Structure 1
């Protein structure tokens, strides 16, 4: 359905190569360079915050995604000659209700998680509301975080997943490949320095969650809503001193993250979320939609 609506002849598949290899190559070189040069990403972020302030640093992190998304859409429209709607969903039109539902459900689940965490360890939450800092942060986040998360979804769960599915001729290979590479793209994040590579469980787990949503629901809508909600919460509601989004959010969590929190998130909360979507949208034929050959 979603993957089957595009041509799979050799000339069509070759059109994917320039954008895919340019973006993946750019990210890989950035991670490799940071590793070889032993660049401390957290120190770089702190230096930028000291020079520019948190909001300006946050803005400079997000603004490249506007360029990435615009280039992807232009490439898709003028080189592939498809509409953005077709890259979004196989439905007759984009289902905004799905985006809103996914966004709302993930916000509510996070509200429950944060409330429980606060009552269990109130000393780990530091309230830091500053109206003058929060208003520009809110404006930047509301405008540019959906751009950042939308690019990642349109590229990884849309464009890149199509490319891998076409060359492998298998949905399962596309799901695994895009999920793992999505996780590995976060290797240069400061969270990796703070927690070690075990945090890849979360990032790769997120990749699988979003990929499963896309394949089971035949579109990006649920993934778009979830990802936007997740990153807005991290920017506006609660942040940590070791995250890439070091903002003037309402709360700063001072406790160190641990592997058990990640395991609960990935192996308990994510399946619950998928169960909710499955019941809401009557998902069926899981094996065929996730692993069947194309």
Structure 2
């Protein structure tokens, strides 16, 4: 079982607290190149570091690069936590299978990639006045290469932390599955509170982020691995960077389209939670023959005999 794999290493909960702190510190260090570049470009004007100016000081491609590279640096923090605090490897928080199932990654990627791309194109055809055609071949080619390489690193780090590391950590603490599912979903959603989307659309948009975290957590527990979530998250962010962005989103890249509509939270904001995610559940459950939903999502964590004996 996925959460029980944590017992292959050291599972004292204080290790997860310190590990999370290490990851956060290293990830923060990863943001220093962006801050330094902004200061250098602005003549070391501290006002340039304000949220409303930070994303407008540098070239969009350069800004995107610095944002994404910070996650690559953040991987160092995760590696330190796994190797030196828990004495496990990355595969332990990735999957229960003998090796990563790339077909599962591809399925997760394809589902969100196809649905989201089609929905964006339909929206563009129906309401072209809400978009600006921004395709610039030279800049887009740079963005495309950069995104293909770095976006999967960014999204994989988030999945390894939330659906892997913290899912196992809270599971070890609570000895059940529902608590880590709820906690990782809440933390994942609330950490988006600093995103410019929240400032523009209000706190109610956090429901979408928490719901997405819940969806990713459920498919991880049901499938006994993070592969589907890895593919899903990578496709979602790739489309967000390459196909359509806006001046109020976390990524403001040289995408094909720029959304200029005034954003607001309406009933259709939550359509993915109500319609698309259940469809994804049905497809994945059919393909991989998921069973025992109640046990896998709310059941107890069985501590291995060796671990119980060691604690005694």
Q: Confirm or deny a common fold (TM above 0.5).
A: yes
1:273 is aligned to: 280
1:38 is aligned to: none
1:31 is aligned to: none
Verify: 1:175 aligned to 2:188, yes or no: no
Is the Cα–Cα contact under 8 Å of residues 179 and 208 in structure 1 kept in the other structure? yes
**Alpha carbons of 1:10 and 1:142: their partners in 2 closer, same or farther (altered >3 Å)?**
closer
Query: Partners of 2:49 and 2:291 in 1: how far apart?
Result: 47
Query: Partners of 1:45 and 1:13 in 2: how far apart?
Result: 35
C-alpha offsets along residues 131-156 of structure 1, whole Å, 9 cap, x if unaligned? Answer: 12112211221111111101100000
Verify: 1:260 aligned to 2:267, yes or no: yes
Count of paired positions: 281
1:69 is aligned to: 75
2:121 is aligned to: 115
Query: Partners of 1:284 and 1:180 in 2: how far apart?
Result: 25
Q: Which runs of 5+ in 1 are unaligned?
A: 29-41
Deviation, structure 1 residue 26: 9.2
What TM-score results when the alignment is normalised by the length of structure 2? 0.84
Query: Partners of 2:128 and 2:281 in 1: how far apart?
Result: 30
2:63 is aligned to: 57
Verify: 1:5 aligned to 2:38, yes or no: no
**Alpha carbons of 1:165 and 1:82: their partners in 2 closer, same or farther (altered >3 Å)?**
same
Verify: 1:20 aligned to 2:20, yes or no: yes
Query: Partners of 1:130 and 1:154 in 2: how far apart?
Result: 34
Q: Which runs of 5+ in 2 are unaligned?
A: 29-47, 302-312
1:200 is aligned to: 206
Deviation, structure 1 residue 118: 2.2
Is the Cα–Cα contact under 8 Å of residues 201 and 266 in structure 1 kept in the other structure? no
Counterpart of 1:284 (choices 288, 291, 305) is: 291
Q: 1:186 aligns to what SS in structure 2?
A: helix
Q: 2:57 aligns to what SS in structure 1?
A: helix
Deviation, structure 1 residue 268: 1.2
Query: Partners of 2:10 and 2:141 in 1: how far apart?
Result: 50
1:211 is aligned to: 217
Is the Cα–Cα contact under 8 Å of residues 175 and 208 in structure 1 kept in the other structure? yes
The answer to which of 120-129 and 228-237 deviates more is 120-129
Deviation, structure 1 residue 125: 2.1
Query: Partners of 1:95 and 1:7 in 2: how far apart?
Result: 22
1:236 is aligned to: 242
Query: Partners of 1:192 and 1:26 in 2: how far apart?
Result: 25
Q: 1:52 aligns to what SS in structure 2?
A: coil
Query: Partners of 1:24 and 1:181 in 2: how far apart?
Result: 13
Deviation, structure 1 residue 277: 0.7
Q: 2:214 aligns to what SS in structure 1?
A: helix
**Alpha carbons of 1:275 and 1:262: their partners in 2 closer, same or farther (altered >3 Å)?**
same
Query: Partners of 1:57 and 1:63 in 2: how far apart?
Result: 10
1:137 is aligned to: 143
The answer to which of 135-144 and 212-221 deviates more is 135-144
Deviation, structure 1 residue 201: 1.2
Q: 2:132 aligns to what SS in structure 1?
A: strand
